[in-house]
Amino acid sequence: MRGDGVRVLVVGAGIAGLAAARTLRAWGADVEIVERSGAARVDGAGIYLPGNAVRALDDLGLGERVAARALEIRRQRVSDHRGRSLMDIAVADVWHGVGPCLAMHRADLHQVLLAGAKDVPIHWGRTVESIVDADDEVRVTLSDGTRRGFDLVLGADGVHSAVRGMIFGDGAGIRPTGHYARRFLARWSGSGPVWSVMVGRGSAFLTIPIGDGLVYVYCDGPLDAPRVPPRELLAGFAEPVGAVLDGAEEGMQSGPVEEVSLPRWSRGLTLLIGDAAHATSPNMAEGAAMAVEDALVLADCLAAAGTIADALRAFEERRRPRTEWVRAQTHRRDRSRSLPTPVRNLVLGRLGVKLFHASYKPLQGRP
């Protein structure tokens, strides 16, 4: 099917939405984006991009621009809360032939994606108020009163997707993982190009350097963690936890970690992509990869199908096994955190490298 004259509305100007806008515009569709924020605004301090995410960005035609703003990560290390090493992996052994692993400020990635979709109009500060299926189009009402018809609507508006609520009901598919997370940047130059996590009993502390003496920090704990200051939550953790917390910059973001699981991702000619369809716990760091892969596969399915409805069915058949694999691995990793500390340390020490390789092996092939 040719994209000429196909009208597409993308709801959300995040990673999934901007990637989809770029691929569908290249397919030939008339694409526009609606974004609730009044201007380009990025939630999240930093982002880690495993090899398959970098390959997807390269397939999108943006790989070199992303790499120019990023720091390459060479190793991933896991230690217990006292700093005793449990696992140390050269990431090139996992992603050889796929792509490097990169870390960067999330705002920098967003700027690259915005530039990559510069030919697509973005309506800032607007929301979708209603979505109604007609015979051969989707009729959309926006918050400014505009009423338009589209051949395809993409809900790329994140974990708390308004589009998902409109087509499947409020709260559909979203559920807590049992953790509460804090994300922030810290000025700390004590790390080489290493992704490093310290795991305690029910809590974890992750640092990823992103360049210019900054590290992206992620720490989490149980759902009652909002009542506990970070230093108290991480009491008993060895250095560099204290030093990193001393260097924390303003703008800490926090909230419960949630996932999205749905029996289907579309209704009529409206499709959910990215976190709106299949958000997971962040412990596999696959959110960006799954979002960009969604965009690439959707364009491929549309080009190969006879109708948009056929393309949406083909898209879900191709994408669901891969996203479900990621979800299953995040569940396995979360369960391992509840093991007694000696058992968890023994498993990670003896089998961690093997399990790490196995968890990413299906993602080494193209989606």
Task: For residue range 168-222, list pLDDT tens digits in order.
Answer: 999 999 999 999 999 999 999 887 899 999 999 889 999 999 999 999 999 999 8
The C-alpha atoms of residue 183 and residue 237 are separated, in whole angstroms, by 18
Q: What is the domain partition of the chain in residue ranges? A: 7-73+101-175+259-340
Which residues, at least 6 apart from 341, have a Cβ–Cβ distance to it below 8 Å?
A: 80, 201
What pTM value is reported for the model?
0.96
Lowest mean pLDDT among 223-227, 231-235, 290-294, 333-337: 223-227
**Owner of token pair 């050889």:** 96
Q: Are 63 and 57 in contact (CB under 8 A)?
A: yes
Q: How far apart are CA 98 and CA 361, in angstroms?
A: 11
The pLDDT, as a whole number, for residue 43 is 64
Per-residue pLDDT band for 152 (boundaries 50, 70, 90) equals very high
Q: Which amino acid is located at 167 in the chain?
A: I
pLDDT for residue 229: 85
Mean pLDDT along residues 231-252: 93
CATH class of 7-73+101-175+259-340: alpha beta
In sequence order, the 6+-apart residues with CB closer than 8 A to the CB of 291 are 14, 15, 16, 19, 156, 273, 274, 275
